[in-house]
């Protein structure tokens, strides 16, 4: 895989997710669109054929993940947590854990469920714990439910972007919330990058 180099003045957001159908993928695309307003955003979709003997080949993507300013995790909620395919990625990330290679990167998460309260919060809590294991900085939503003129965060979850899709279709508010999360993460990554560059120039 070719190594992609990004401009120093722009954030690089990596969106790592598993989608069994289209709904989680559409959320990932919405996050990408929001993040692209402030930087470079790429999708890394975990596919079943990637996983061999229960292991995810994370070394194939290690350079892109290392170069990222932020990593956003995504998975549908299955049985109260992330899908096994995402868990294979998370388990493989332990190769970077001992070195804390992702330390101080921004992290965020998104999920979707078929029930209105299908324990989606547990999936986001898993993502935030994974981020903490890597020494990352968690970024949640900055929207109080019911107070956004655009109807964002209609499900009232501050930890990340959640969606409810009983029929495979996505609510416009959930897609807009996902775009907002991508925009928020990329904007924060840019501010942190600018502050680091300014400090470096002063030393």
**The domain that contains 130 carries what CATH number?**
3.40.50.360
Percent of the chain scored above 70 by pLDDT? 93
How many other β-carbons are positioned within 10 Å of the β-carbon of residue 13? 27
Give the span between the Cα atoms of 60 and 16, in whole angstroms.
Answer: 13
From CA 58, how far away is CA 89, in angstroms rounded? 7
Q: Is the per-residue pLDDT at 7 higher than 50?
A: no
Report the candidate in 9, 81, 76, 5 with the shortest Cα–Cα distance to residue 42. Answer: 5
Between 32 and 39, the more confident residue is 32
How many beta carbons lie within 10 A of that of residue 23, not counting itself?
Answer: 21
Q: Quick one: pLDDT band at residue 3, thresholds 50, 70, 90?
A: very low
State the CB neighbour count (10 A cutoff) for residue 144. 11
Task: Please give the pLDDT value at position 8.
Answer: 53
Domain that residue 109 falls in: 12-202
Over residues 127-142, mean pLDDT = 96
Within-domain flag for 3? no
Nearest-angstrom CA–CA distance, 105 and 1: 22
pLDDT value of residue 141: 94
Tell whether 6 is covered by a domain: no
Q: What is the per-residue pLDDT across 135-152, written as a single tens digit (0 to 9) for each? A: 999 999 998 877 778 888
Instruction: Establish if 1 belongs to a structural domain.
Output: no
Which position has the higher pLDDT, 97 or 7? 97
Answer whether residue 19 is part of any domain.
Answer: yes
User: 7 in a domain, yes or no?
Assistant: no
Give the model confidence (pLDDT) of 50-93 as tens digits. 888 778 877 778 888 888 999 999 999 998 899 999 999 999 88
Question: How many separate domains does the chain show?
Answer: 1
């Amino acid at each position: 895989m070719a190594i992609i180099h990004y401009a120093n003045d722009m954030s690089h957001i990596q969106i790592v997710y598993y989608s069994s159908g289209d709904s989680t993928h559409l959320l990932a695309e919405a996050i990408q669109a929001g993040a692209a307003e402030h930087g470079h955003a790429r999708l890394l979709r975990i596919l079943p054929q990637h996983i061999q003997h229960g292991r995810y080949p994370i070394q194939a993507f290690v350079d892109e993940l290392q170069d990222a300013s932020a990593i956003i995790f995504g998975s549908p909620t299955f049985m109260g947590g992330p899908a096994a395919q995402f868990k294979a990625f998370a388990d493989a990330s332990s190769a970077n854990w001992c070195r804390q290679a992702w330390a101080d990167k921004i992290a965020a998460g998104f999920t979707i469920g078929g029930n209105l309260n299908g324990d989606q919060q547990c999936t986001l809590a898993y993502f935030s714990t994974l981020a903490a294991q890597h020494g990352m900085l968690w970024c949640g939503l900055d929207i109080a439910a019911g107070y956004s003129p655009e109807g964002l965060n209609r499900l009232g979850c501050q930890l990340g972007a959640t969606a409810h899709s009983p029929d495979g279709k996505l609510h416009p508010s959930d897609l807009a919330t996902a775009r907002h999360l991508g925009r928020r993460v990329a904007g924060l990554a840019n501010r942190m990058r600018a502050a680091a560059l300014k400090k470096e120039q002063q030393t």
